[in-house]
Amino acid sequence: MIPINRLLLAPLLGLCLANTPAADAKPAPEHAAWQRAGKQLMADIHSALAAGRRTIVIPPGDYMFASTRHEFALRDLTDVRLEGKGATFWFPRTNGRVRLENCRRVTLSGVTLDQTERPFIQGRIREIDPIRNTVIADAEPGYPARADLKDPDEPLRCIFFPPDGSRELDVRDGNGRLLPESTAETLVIQMDNIFKETRARPVRPDDRLTLALRGGGGGLRLANCGECVMENITIHSSAGFAITETNRSPGGNLYRDCRIIRHPKRNDLLAGAADGFHSMMQMRGPILENCELAWTADDLVNIHGFFQMVIEQRSPSELVIAGPDIRNFEQGSALSFFRPPNASPLGEARVKDWRPLDDAALLERVRGIPARFETERNIRVRSFDEPEPCLVTLDRPLELQPCDLVQCGDYAGAGAVVRNCHLHDGHVRGLLVKSDGARLLGNRIERVARAGIVVKPEWYWLEGPFAQAMRIESNRLADCAWQSFTPQGFYHECAPIVIQPDFSRRMFPAFYTPERLLGEIHLLDNTVINSPGPAVIAGNARKTVIAGNLFQGVYRKTSALPGLDFSTMIDHRNPPPQWRGAMPLLKQPDAAVMLNSLGMLEARGNLLQNEPRRPLFGFGLWCDTAPPGTVWTGNEAAARISESKSN
């Protein structure tokens, strides 16, 4: 393994190593040298590849890739390894990233990815004005200002921290808008979430805040890649998804010992302005192993595919199908159909044949689906940005309607593995996984504002599928979902572990529905510590196993418990049978594990420690005393054990 052009790069690298960049939007004197080093590096890599080298060492130093025309981009490679220990790649806030396209079995290791200008505004609170619903803060130097924004009036996700920046404050998610009187030195932010709700520790002067500038550059993107290995990669700043894999790919990529973390020598409050790791449209799911993911303004991990929709039915076995993203099926693919809003099952069929439809009028109609949905059904769904309308012939006739949901699991990250990872200090969720056969094993998840583990296809985002055969085992969750409710209300993901789709005629929170859409979810030998409310919420599933789990401390957020009222999730236009009997449990929940519409439950050997008088399981709607087919062993004994331990 010979470093490429070591002598040629040495003068530039000496200058690079002598400088630690600030977060200033203005070009620093060393940036020109970094850009020259970056262009030279790409030229040297291409020369090495042309010469047939399969292992390339990137010399230590700083390299800047300043635009989409000058990214660190590798395309159409197979069986290549790049080692970059001690190398830092720099990108602007607005564009540029590490990009791998159409690659197979490519390894990238050892590099650090950062940005010359961080994708968030930071400030220290000077004054709080409840009359104007504004926060006035002294802008921290070296971060963007209102004048640097493409749309200065755009609402931005605002996150609060104590003066030392150690842990996010308990302020429910909300946006702030920088008012025109803001300057480079002073931030004037209008918002309402900190003024509408009471909390044990209010926001006060000298606290710090950050506004996430989502979108743009930084991070790592794999498009149409398979069996690649990303190892020992550190990301300190990314405006978009810090790590993305996308574009109808074979997948099966391995991420080992990667980190998304704040820079240890800077005052950054975040490392990412969006998701940490985001996988979509992969035939085989990713493997995340021994990774650390933290300090992002959105989900730490999200692995999913997409639902598509029936646009029109031309005959009993011939459909026009499109979705928010590109086509996710092939000839022979199994399709399942569901009727909105509750995702009521309609049947299954296989794709006998398909062909793309190049019709401008049809494409315009497809892009109008979100507006039509909102007008006709009062349900908002995401925009259809990259639809690929197709005429599909099924192997059997079905009676379907426009806007029926179409599920295909072929490109939804099946078999994804997240193992021995540390996820912490995320502003939204920890592990959000929707893939068949996924394995979440031995992870440590701490201080995540909403649920730490979520198995939940999402209506608004049209992300799925309805996962089957998932194993959630030996994970440790502590202080998760702590931001999920206040005395004024709650988020729908208000437990450290949530296993429940959100398909109903209402979102945020969804109504309870009877459909059992998830299957064979195994929740085994997990430890859940310090739950603000229940430790687990599970519903709309069949063949569920909850066994060997330890729950230590539930309903700990006592000051906010009046806001935790699950009876508000009953759809009174179509009330479920015996709903009045479930009202006491739903209105004042107290069970460690809350269940609704669950079938064939196997519950054994679960322990609620030191709370012998609290019910371990609470059976809500469509559950009776226990679901049909329940296997129930060891749970009451566990309660007696906990009583003896507490004494």
Model-level pTM? Answer: 0.93
CA angle 248, 253, 254 (to 5 degrees): 160
User: Per-residue confidence at 26, pLDDT binned at 50, 70, 90?
Assistant: low
> Domain containing 194: what range?
120-212
Q: Where are the beta strands (DSSP E) in 474-576?
A: 476-478, 485-486, 489-490, 497-499, 518-524, 527-529, 536-547, 550-552
pLDDT at res. 16:
35
pLDDT at position 23 over 50: no
The residue ranking higher by pLDDT, 67 or 14, is 67
The residue ranking higher by pLDDT, 644 or 504, is 504
pLDDT at res. 385:
86
pLDDT at res. 13:
35
Query: 611 and 490 in one domain?
Result: yes
When the pLDDT of each residue in the chain is averaged and rounded to a whole number, the result is: 90
Query: 231 and 205 in one domain?
Result: no
What Rg, from alpha-carbon coordinates, does the chain have? 25
Kindly state whether residue 628 falls inside one of the protein's structural domains: yes
Kindly state whether residue 413 falls inside one of the protein's structural domains: no
What string of H, E and C letters represents the secondary structure of 8-45? HHHHHHHHHHCCCCCCCCCCCCCHHHHHHHHHHHHHHH
Contacts of 464 (CB under 8 A, 6+ apart): 304, 305, 306, 307, 407, 412, 434, 457, 458
pLDDT at res. 197:
74
**In 10 A of CB 402, how many CB atoms?**
15
**What is the per-residue DSSP string for 37-81?**
HHHHHHHHHHHHHHTT-SEEEPPSEEEE--BTTB-EEEES-EEEE
pLDDT at position 322 over 70: yes
Least confident of 8-22, 360-374, 512-526, 588-602: 8-22
Query: 221 and 91 in one domain?
Result: yes
Least confident of 17-21, 94-98, 305-309, 600-604: 17-21
The residue ranking higher by pLDDT, 492 or 513, is 513
pLDDT at res. 640:
38
Kindly state whether residue 30 falls inside one of the protein's structural domains: yes
Show which of 359, 376, 407 is a domain's final residue.
407
Query: 614 and 507 in one domain?
Result: yes
* Structure token pair of residue 509: 């929170």
Kindly state whether residue 1 falls inside one of the protein's structural domains: no
Question: Average pLDDT, stretch 427-456?
Answer: 97
pLDDT at position 435 over 80: yes
Contact 343, 501 (CB under 8 A): yes
Query: 288 and 227 in one domain?
Result: yes
Q: How many domains does the chain have?
A: 4
Q: Where are the beta strands (DSSP E) in 242-362?
A: 243-246, 249-251, 254-256, 259-260, 277-280, 282-284, 287-289, 292-294, 301-306, 308-315, 318-322, 334-339, 344-356
pLDDT at res. 625:
60
Query: 262 and 356 in one domain?
Result: no
pLDDT at res. 22:
40
Least confident of 241-245, 524-528, 585-589: 585-589
User: Per-residue confidence at 626, pLDDT binned at 50, 70, 90?
Assistant: low
Q: What is the CATH number of the domain that holds 353?
A: 2.40.30
Kindly state whether residue 355 falls inside one of the protein's structural domains: yes
Per cent of the chain over pLDDT 90 is 77
Q: What is the CATH number of the domain that holds 228?
A: 2.160.20
Q: Which residues of 69-102 are buried (b: 16+ CB within 10 A; e: fewer)?
A: ebbbbbeebeebbbbbeebbbbbbbbbbbbbbbb
Q: Is the dihedral angle over the CA atoms 363, 501, 345, 355 positive or is it negative?
A: positive
With left for phi above 0 and alpha for psi between -120 and 50, is residue 492 left, alpha or beta?
A: alpha
Question: Average pLDDT, stretch 336-342?
Answer: 95
| β partners of residue 477 | 445, 528
Query: 153 and 127 in one domain?
Result: yes
pLDDT at res. 636:
53
Q: How far is CA 419 from CA 46, 174, 431, 438, 475, in A?
A: 35, 32, 11, 11, 9
Q: Which residues of 341-372 are buried (b: 16+ CB within 10 A; e: fewer)?
A: bbbbebeebebeebeebeeeebbebbeebbee
Question: Average pLDDT, stretch 94-114?
Answer: 96
Question: Average pLDDT, stretch 310-319?
Answer: 96
Collapsing DSSP states into helix, strand and coil, what is residue 494? Answer: coil
AA identity, residue 185: E
Question: Average pLDDT, stretch 506-535?
Answer: 94
- pLDDT tens-place string over residues 457-489: 999 999 999 999 999 999 999 999 999 988 888
pLDDT at position 11 over 70: no
Kindly state whether residue 145 falls inside one of the protein's structural domains: yes
Question: Average pLDDT, stretch 120-144?
Answer: 95
Show which of 277, 298, 319 is a domain's final residue.
298
User: Per-residue confidence at 628, pLDDT binned at 50, 70, 90?
Assistant: low
Question: Average pLDDT, stretch 491-514?
Answer: 90
Contact 438, 470 (CB under 8 A): yes
CA distance 75 to 92: 22
pLDDT at res. 15:
32
Query: 467 and 434 in one domain?
Result: yes
pLDDT at res. 627:
65
Query: 639 and 527 in one domain?
Result: yes
pLDDT at res. 215:
83
pLDDT at res. 84:
96
Question: Average pLDDT, stretch 281-299?
Answer: 98
Query: 230 and 185 in one domain?
Result: no
pLDDT at position 156 over 60: yes
pLDDT at res. 639:
44
CA distance 320 to 324: 14
Per cent of the chain over pLDDT 70 is 92
Backbone torsions φ then ψ of 642, nearest 5 degrees: -65, -35
User: Per-residue confidence at 638, pLDDT binned at 50, 70, 90?
Assistant: very low
Q: What is the CATH number of the domain that holds 186?
A: 2.40.10
pLDDT at position 68 over 80: no
- pLDDT tens-place string over residues 190-236: 987 788 777 778 899 999 999 999 987 899 999 999 999 999 999 99
User: Per-residue confidence at 9, pLDDT binned at 50, 70, 90?
Assistant: very low
pLDDT at position 19 over 60: no
Q: At what angle do helices 369-377 and 360-367 cross, to 10 degrees?
A: 50
Collapsing DSSP states into helix, strand and coil, what is residue 313? Answer: strand
Query: 205 and 93 in one domain?
Result: no
Query: 151 and 71 in one domain?
Result: no
